[in-house]
A = this chain, B = another copy of it.
């Protein structure tokens, strides 16, 4: 399955229209309001943040999906304000935006899924959004340009829009899947300030979509970390308009659709880490010979969340001792005598001790934009690929200056 990246023409699913507007939430005067509409309705499945300080749109979105049993008509996203830590007023503000859009589009408020991203603890300026809704609704369009504009309007500290798409044919009918995402910081498994919207024209039930989404998110968005912070607003939404006329095969997750979905999620996850705040190096962690998938993930997180490891990467420093130290911090047993560590092609640690390696060549490798670190734990047969990045002075600059 070929996955098209952000620079390539989009495989555009039928049955959706997109638009964006400048509501004045962002001080930068960039677009900050995005709308996707499925005029014929769409099946939907979503995964939300596990942060227990979940934002108002998460609470409303969950309720709307339950109310409609996973059948939506529209997705309304604002950037620049997370509508989190805003209590009952925040819930009312999110509901008011959904209602205003519903009135304009002549749909039910419950069929609108709201999303927000941006600063936490500042009341959402719902009035600005309500005012912009008629413009937003009038400018809906179905082309690639409209989808790309949607993708740009949901950005916050992102430097680049994130987009991936794929298509496949079943008995001569073409099915398209396209996803957009935002996220550059607060990125961590169980999701991050990460918004992901994946549109397809396949025909599928909300329950089937849910299974597909869970499987794809597990190995993509739940296997990346920029800074270890789990956001209050994370959302991954999968929509299926059915407009292609092709029905999703019942046979589990080994289908062309599953391939496309997994590929798109993997591509978007990688785009997010590549755009990690201040990141200069993409690091592919390959954890092998773990006793369970959970152990592999815990070890990957222990490495990926260590400021000392991440600053060594920033310095292109083959100081693998810091990484070794984190192997003992995963909460699982650790056997130093059976573990090994490879920096790219250089085996630096095995059989309980440091191995001689070409430090200069390893330093050169680490100066590159990406490389792989392979850790074998010698405890079992589970493995995991995990993407992360270095921690640079630029990360500090970006985040020390964000709100003031």
- Say yes or no: B403 contacts A336, CB within 8 Å: no
Chain B min CB distance to A135 (Å): 29
Given A53-B334, A307-B227, A308-B185, the answer on whether A396 and B325 have CB atoms closer than 8 Å is: no
**Alpha-carbon distance between A90 and B336 when the two chains are bound, in angstroms:** 12
Q: Closest approach, in angstroms, between the C-beta of A297 and any C-beta of chain B?
A: 16
A79 at interface, CB cutoff 8 A:
no
Interface residues of chain A: helix, strand, loop or mixed (majority): loop
User: Which chain B residues border A307 with CB–CB below 8 Å?
Assistant: 227-229, 307, 391, 395, 399
The reply on A39 being an interface residue by CB < 8 A is: no
A231 interfacial contact with B, CB 8 Å: yes
Number of interface residues of A (CB under 8 A): 70
- Interface residue? A320 (CB, 8 A): yes
Question: Within the complex, which residue of B84, B90, B311, B396 is in contact with A314, where a contact is CB–CB below 8 Å?
Answer: B396
Say which one of A15-23, A98-106, A349-357 lies at the interface with B: A349-357
A250 within 8 A of B: no
A85 near B353 (CB under 8 angstroms)?
yes
Q: Which of B51, B52, B119, B396 contacts A311 (CB 8 A)?
A: B396
Q: Mark A307-328, 1 if CB is under 8 A from B, else 0.
A: 1100110111111111011111
- CB A264 to nearest CB in B, in angstroms, measures 28
* Complex: A333 Cα to B51 Cα, angstroms: 10
Cα distance, A229 to B324, chains bound together (Å): 12
Contact residues in B for A214 (Cβ distance below 8 Å): none
Interchain CA distance A322-B82 in the complex, whole Å: 11
A254 at the interface (CB under 8 A from B): no
Taking a contact as CB atoms under 8 Å apart, the answer to whether A328 and B54 are in contact is yes
Task: Name the B residues within 8 Å of A230 (CB-CB).
Answer: 329
B-binding residues in A (CB < 8 A): 51-54, 82, 84-90, 119-123, 185-186, 227-232, 305-308, 311-312, 314-322, 324-329, 332-334, 336-337, 348-349, 351-354, 363, 391-393, 395-397, 399-404
Q: Can you offer 22 A-B residue contacts whose CB atoms are under 8 A?
A: A51-B329, A52-B328, A52-B332, A53-B326, A53-B334, A84-B321, A85-B321, A85-B354, A87-B351, A119-B319, A228-B305, A228-B307, A230-B329, A308-B399, A311-B396, A312-B403, A314-B400, A315-B399, A315-B404, A318-B404, A363-B404, A392-B396
